[in-house]
């Protein structure tokens, strides 16, 4: 299997149909063999029913449901354990991560032989005070303490070799430090790809 797409989410009923349709179009146009694993971290809206509908019509869609909110790290940990693709891609469910980036990320892993590739949302449109400055400080501190030279540790859009996700333990708030965990586990070829910050609407 070429790809496992992991999508952690909490109460994203409004974006799921659009995201699903968009991902499927990318999978078909590139002729990928794939699975999409939705990681429902305790949603209280209709998210799980929507995911169940996708799974009933498409055998490549799977879902993992937590009965309460455990956090993104725990959701990703469960997804990593289940993922079967040669390349694992994680992305957020709110349409801020563009599925159009998937082929480029896939090629960086399969052809350029990176162990891990992190998205870099170079242009940010968040509130400067509320998000932009704290994010820059976090990224600076993470670079200084870890030696991993990435500009955007926080970006949810990442790609991994399968062997990487099977050899790291993600818990607590460690999803922000997955590149550091990968490096500490011996996976040293870590790359970065500039990606769209605000995904265009599908279609």
- Residue 203 belongs to some domain of the structure: no
Asked if residue 199 belongs to a domain, the reply is no
Q: What is the CATH number of the domain that holds 34?
A: 3.90.550.10
The CA-atom distances, in angstroms, between 63 and each of 38, 41, 55, 58, 162 are 5, 11, 8, 12, 19
76-90, 152-166, 171-185: which range is least confident on average? 171-185
| Domain annotation covers residue 201 | no
Residue 40 has pLDDT above 60, yes or no: yes
- Mean pLDDT over each residue of the chain, to the nearest integer: 88
Q: What is the SS3 assignment for 52?
A: helix
Task: Domain of residue 181: give its range.
Answer: 3-194
Residue 171 lies inside a defined structural domain of this protein: yes
| The predicted structure's pLDDT at residue 196 | 75
| pLDDT band at 123; cut points 50, 70, 90 | low
**DSSP notation for 2-40:** -EEEEEEESS-TTTHHHHHHHHHHHHHHTT--EEEEEEE
What pTM does this model have? 0.88
Q: Which of 96-105, 112-121, 126-135, 178-187 has the lowest mean pLDDT?
A: 126-135
**Is residue 15 situated within a structural domain?**
yes
Q: Provide the β-strand partners of residue 160.
A: 88, 116
The residue with tokens 């055998």 is: 59
Number of domains in the chain: 1
Taking residues 92-109, what's their average pLDDT?
96
Instruction: Report yes or no on 18 lying in a domain.
Output: yes
Q: Is residue 174 a part of any domain in this protein? A: yes
Q: Which of 88, 103, 104 is nearest to 164 (CA)?
A: 88
pLDDT tens per residue, range 58-95: 999 999 999 999 999 999 999 999 999 999 999 999 99
């Amino acid at each position: 299997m070429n790809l496992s797409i992991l999508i952690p989410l909490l109460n994203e009923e409004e974006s799921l149909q659009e995201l699903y349709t968009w991902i499927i179009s990318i999978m078909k146009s590139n002729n990928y063999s794939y699975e999409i694993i939705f990681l429902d971290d305790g949603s209280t809206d209709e998210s799980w029913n929507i995911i169940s509908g996708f799974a009933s019509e498409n055998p490549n869609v799977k879902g993992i449901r937590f009965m309460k909110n455990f956090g993104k790290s725990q959701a990703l940990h469960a997804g990593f354990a289940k993922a079967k693709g040669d390349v694992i891609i994680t992305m957020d469910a709110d349409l801020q991560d563009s599925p159009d980036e998937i082929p480029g990320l896939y090629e960086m892993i399969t052809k350029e032989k990176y162990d891990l590739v992190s998205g870099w949302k170079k242009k940010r449109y968040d509130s400067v005070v509320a998000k932009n400055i704290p994010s820059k400080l976090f990224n600076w501190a993470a670079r200084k303490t870890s030696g991993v030279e990435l500009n955007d540790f926080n970006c949810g859009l990442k790609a991994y070799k399968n062997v990487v996700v099977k050899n790291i333990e993600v818990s607590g708030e460690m999803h922000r430090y997955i590149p550091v965990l990968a490096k500490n586990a011996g996976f040293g070829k870590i790359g970065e790809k500039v990606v769209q910050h605000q995904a265009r609407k599908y279609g």
